[in-house]
């Protein structure tokens, strides 16, 4: 039985000293990895961020560290292409956006006004959108500073959507059992289960672990493990979730 697990959270660099991070301790992923090891998995690949909690048995696993979404995308794709996996657990909190560029208020305003005046043929909407694109694009070339200036009263960031990493998994390995994760904040359980079902469908996942940040406190961790037929199992602790995921997915493999 070969298992691939992602754990922790990605970090998108702003400059050499600043970053946009996704909180995630990686603790749940580390527990899942340990349960798989104890259940006799022959190979476990553990893709994780630097800060992520490592499994107890990490020495018996292959650890692949990543930082950004792009790192994760490349590392995961390479693994999935080079060997087949029975089970893939994608528990990493992946940034939905990367930083395209930064701009001061003056640069942004000047570029928008320039586009408005240079393109009388365009609608104002189009000219403003073009100005926004160009202002940030200009800042992202080789002249991007190594440390952002701290002297500006107002700064703007432009963030672009990252490709959905989870979507790759079944495309490359349609026969793997895939578990996706959906974290929401302070919603009711009906909404949580609905959103998780959509994630399952879009990404061809076999299970989705749906959870709500407001119901996570240390090892107390409410989680709904959804199956494709719409049924789910409710767990109350990280340990129970981890064990539940390992047992459910191993059934499919045997």
Which positions lie near its own copies, rule CB under 8 A?
Answer: 14-24, 51, 93, 95-97, 100, 105, 108-110, 112-113, 116-117, 124-125, 128-129, 132, 146-148, 150, 152-161, 183-186, 213
Sheet with 43-49, edge to edge strand ranges: 62-66, 43-49, 2-7, 87-90, 177-184, 207-217, 220-227, 232-237
CA distance 162 to 198: 19
Residue given tokens 């018996």 in the structure block: 60
Q: How far is the CB of 249 from its own copies (least distance, A)?
A: 25
Identify which of residues 68 and 173 has a Cβ nearer to its own copies in the complex: 68
5-38 as b/e, with b when 16 or more CB fall inside 10 Å? bbbbbbbbeeeeeeebebebbbbbbbbbbbbbbe
Q: How far is the CB of 187 from its own copies (least distance, A)?
A: 9
Q: How far is the CB of 164 from its own copies (least distance, A)?
A: 9
Checking 121-129 for CB contacts under 8 A at 24+ apart, the result is none
Identify which of residues 40 and 153 has a Cβ nearer to its own copies in the complex: 153
Q: How far is the CB of 202 from its own copies (least distance, A)?
A: 12
Identify which of residues 109 and 228 has a Cβ nearer to its own copies in the complex: 109
Identify which of residues 95 and 249 has a Cβ nearer to its own copies in the complex: 95
């Amino acid at each position: 039985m070969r298992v691939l697990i992602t754990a922790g959270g990605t970090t998108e660099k702003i400059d050499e000293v600043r970053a946009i991070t996704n909180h995630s301790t990686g603790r749940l992923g580390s527990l899942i990895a340990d349960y798989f090891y104890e259940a006799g998995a022959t190979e476990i690949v553990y893709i994780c961020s630097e800060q992520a909690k490592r499994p107890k048995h990490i020495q018996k696993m292959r650890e692949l560290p990543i930082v950004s979404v792009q790192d994760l995308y490349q590392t995961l794709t390479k693994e999935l292409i080079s060997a087949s996996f029975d089970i893939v657990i994608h528990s990493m909190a992946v940034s939905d956006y990367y930083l395209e560029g930064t701009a001061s208020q003056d640069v942004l305003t000047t570029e928008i006004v320039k586009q408005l005046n240079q393109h009388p043929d365009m609608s104002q909407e189009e000219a403003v959108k073009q100005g926004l694109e160009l202002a940030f694009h200009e800042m992202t070339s080789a002249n991007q500073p190594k440390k952002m200036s701290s002297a500006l009263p107002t700064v703007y960031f432009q963030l672009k959507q990252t490709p959905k990493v989870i979507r790759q998994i079944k495309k490359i390995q349609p026969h793997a059992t895939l578990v996706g994760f959906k974290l929401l904040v302070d919603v009711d359980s009906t909404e949580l289960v609905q959103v998780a079902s959509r994630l399952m469908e879009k990404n061809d996942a076999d299970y989705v672990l749906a959870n709500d940040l407001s119901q996570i406190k240390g090892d107390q961790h409410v989680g709904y493990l959804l199956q494709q037929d719409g049924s789910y199992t409710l767990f109350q602790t990280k340990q129970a979730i981890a064990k539940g995921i390992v047992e459910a997915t191993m059934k499919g493999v045997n």
